[in-house]
Amino acid sequence: MHALVVQQLRKVYRSGFEALKGVDLTVEEGDFFALLGPNGAGKSTLIGIVTSLVNKTSGRVCVFGHDLDTEPEAVKASLGVVPQEFNFNLFLPVAEVVINQAGYFGIPRREARRRAEFYLKKLDLWERRRSEMRLLSGGMKRRLMIARALVHRPKLLILDEPTAGVDIEIRRAMWAYLRELNAEGTTIILTTHYLEEAESLCRNIAMIDDGRIAAVAETQALLAELDAEAFVLTLTAPLAAAPALAGLDVKRLDATTLEAQLHRGQTLNDLFAALRAAGVEVASMRNKQNRLEQLFLEMIDRGRGIAPAQAA
């Protein structure tokens, strides 16, 4: 079954601004799906329409076979939403935020308390269950929003920039829990500016720009389209100049650091074999730029999408 089907979705505001220009998108049940795009591309408008927070101009939205126009309550029951902005009563205790959310879905209070305990423990918030919202850190508030979105056990979880402002350690812990949720069967759609997040978590990606879908494909298939990839190499011993490697583009950044550009068809094995032959030993290596970010910028610059057969 499809978790989400969007067909010819358009949104035109009263000012005449067209935020969505006939978007088609399909997300399969069980997928971990990323929606990427710059500010103003249409991500939040699309999510807003799916979650009934924004009225569409035209088009169709179905969630697990439920049409948003004719079965809005069934759509809402299928969704858990983690918005960008905090929207809590700042004076409520943490546990009450989750318990009250359960009440909107008809969950009895005893069961709501049990579920609140489960999710707050999962998200490392149980010790703060009696604390008022206003006393939590930004990272704790983000995790509480996830607990609140999960309390009615939705089949589709939508996260709009869920780790914005969260430190690296907490972000990694949240990633681990989201992977666990997905492995248990929850379909997840993620919008993010952290392209490392999408590359690490998501199996499929849609890139949106100027209200249109620029590409939809498996993450690894998209990455294979990179024309070139840059790596920064830290050396075990200093060099006075960059080594001359036939067919490879390598430059010296400083005495112990090289930058290498690998073009399509060239591999890391080729690079390391050439460096080894030149007597250069590498201590560590990293990507100069996030690969998805690099690809997205290339695609937008070229104004290019993927083949129609791959589009949702």
pLDDT tens-place string over residues 231-256: 889 999 999 999 988 888 899 999 99
Q: Is the pLDDT of residue 296 over 80?
A: no
Give the whole-angstrom CA distance, residue 26 versus residue 36: 15
Q: How many helices (H) and strands (E) does the chain have?
A: 10, 14
Average pLDDT of the chain, as a whole number: 87
By DSSP bridging, strand 156-160 and strand 187-191 are parallel
Give the whole-angstrom CA distance, residue 189 versus residue 162: 11
Distances (CA, A) of 272 to 81, 188, 219, 229, 285: 46, 38, 26, 15, 11
User: Percent of the chain, pLDDT > 90?
Assistant: 57
Strands (E), the chain: 2-12, 18-28, 32-36, 58-63, 66-67, 79-82, 156-160, 187-191, 204-209, 212-218, 228-235, 249-254, 257-263, 282-287
Q: What is the DSSP string of 24-64?
A: EEEEETT-EEEEE--TTSSHHHHHHHHTTSS--SEEEEEET
Q: Which helix (H) or strand (E) holds 296?
A: helix 291-302
Torsion of CA 105, 111, 117, 119, to 10 degrees: -40
Helix-strand-coil split of the chain, %, nearest 5: 35, 30, 35
By DSSP bridging, strand 2-12 and strand 58-63 are antiparallel
User: Percent of the chain, pLDDT > 70?
Assistant: 87
Give the whole-angstrom CA distance, residue 62 versus residue 255: 58
Q: Is the pLDDT of residue 306 over 50?
A: no
Could you read off the pLDDT of 180-225 as tens digits, one per residue?
999 999 999 998 766 678 878 999 989 888 899 988 888 877 766 6
Q: Is the pLDDT of residue 150 over 50?
A: yes
